[in-house]
Amino acid sequence: MIHLLSIRFKFRTLLILLFTLAITDPILKEFGVYGLMLLDIIFTVALLTALYSVSSNRSLLITGIILVAPIFILGLSNYAKTNFYLTLLVYTLAITFFVLVGISILIHIMAEERVTVDLIYGSACVYLLIGFAWAIIYGFIEVLLNGSFNIAGTAMSHPDLLGQYSFLNENLAYYSFVTLTTLGYGDITPLTGPAKTASALEAIVGQLYIALLVARLVGLQISQSMETRRRQGKAEKICLPLLERKKSKQNEQE
């Protein structure tokens, strides 16, 4: 467990938890109270791991704690789900936190000079964080403009949103990842202007991120290969004369 949560593999741990949350969120809700309890645990650990991923920067860590603490207190309480202003506050804090963690990991990725396994894990984490952040943005829009999304031919209602686990609605999370990957099944559609704009932006960001990430990884790989060849060339220049001298001495002795 300590090895799993080490600094080197913190992105791998976060990736596992985010992926688990994405695939189990709609499933566990079908198992009633016990499913929600397990989902609470997964979501809590995911938030703590996301906070741990920015722990190397003290300022980001303090900011993350300030954002996460109210989320735990308000986001998991029934009172926050029925109070309009507290609901908006929780959504705002959650959006800010996910964006903060995503940008922090992205900066780490851009600063890397070599393609590593941890770099790939971090890149995948950012992609999933984009999906979750937009799911919360959709929830924020729904709170402000009730009926912003059409689900199975029926406009989403305010009780439907607040009745779900915390601020992460299963339908909006599903819609977010479908939009992010540009699958566009059409079973959930945006109805209001802000919802349509947010959906279009997510699709654009998702495609740009993949394109830029691939370009970055390919660039790093090419640079890494060129550097390896340059070092090999230097080593050959140094070692070749020594090998020739050794060979000539052996020939003289023979």
Identity at 72, one-letter amino acid code? F
Residue 84 domain-assigned (yes or no): yes
Q: pLDDT > 90: what percent of the chain?
A: 19
The predicted pLDDT at position 137 comes to 94
Specify whether the CB–CB gap between 95 and 140 falls below 8 A. Answer: yes
Q: pLDDT > 70: what percent of the chain?
A: 75
Total structural domains within the chain: 1
Distances (CA, A) of 175 to 50, 58, 103: 23, 35, 22
The predicted pLDDT at position 200 comes to 94
The predicted pLDDT at position 162 comes to 47
Residue 1 domain-assigned (yes or no): no
Angle in degrees, CA 9, 94, 91, rounded to 5: 160
Backbone φ and ψ for 185, nearest 5 degrees, come out as -65, -30
Indicate whether 196 pLDDT > 90: yes
Residue 160 domain-assigned (yes or no): yes
Digit-coded pLDDT (tens) for 227-254? 666 666 565 566 656 556 666 656 555 5
Digit-coded pLDDT (tens) for 205-220? 999 998 888 887 777 7
Digit-coded pLDDT (tens) for 131-178? 999 999 998 998 888 888 888 777 666 544 544 445 677 788 889 999
Among 11-25, 31-45, 50-64, 106-120, the range of highest mean pLDDT:
11-25
Residue 134 domain-assigned (yes or no): yes
Q: How far apart (Å, rounded) are the C-alpha atoms in residues 41 and 127? A: 22
Report the range of poorest mean pLDDT among 46-55, 82-91, 228-237: 228-237
Distances (CA, A) of 179 to 72, 99, 121, 189, 198: 28, 18, 22, 10, 10
Residue 2 domain-assigned (yes or no): no
Residue 56 domain-assigned (yes or no): yes
Find the domain containing 104 and state its range: 7-253
Q: What is the mean pLDDT of residues 14-34?
A: 82
Residue 137 domain-assigned (yes or no): yes
Average pLDDT over all residues of the chain:
78
The predicted pLDDT at position 190 comes to 92
The predicted pLDDT at position 80 comes to 67
Identity at 19, one-letter amino acid code? F
First to last CA, the chain: 61
The predicted pLDDT at position 3 comes to 40
Specify whether the CB–CB gap between 146 and 184 falls below 8 A. Answer: no
The predicted pLDDT at position 133 comes to 93
The predicted pLDDT at position 7 comes to 47
Residue 123 domain-assigned (yes or no): yes
Indicate whether 203 pLDDT > 90: yes
Q: What is the mean pLDDT of residues 185-200?
A: 91
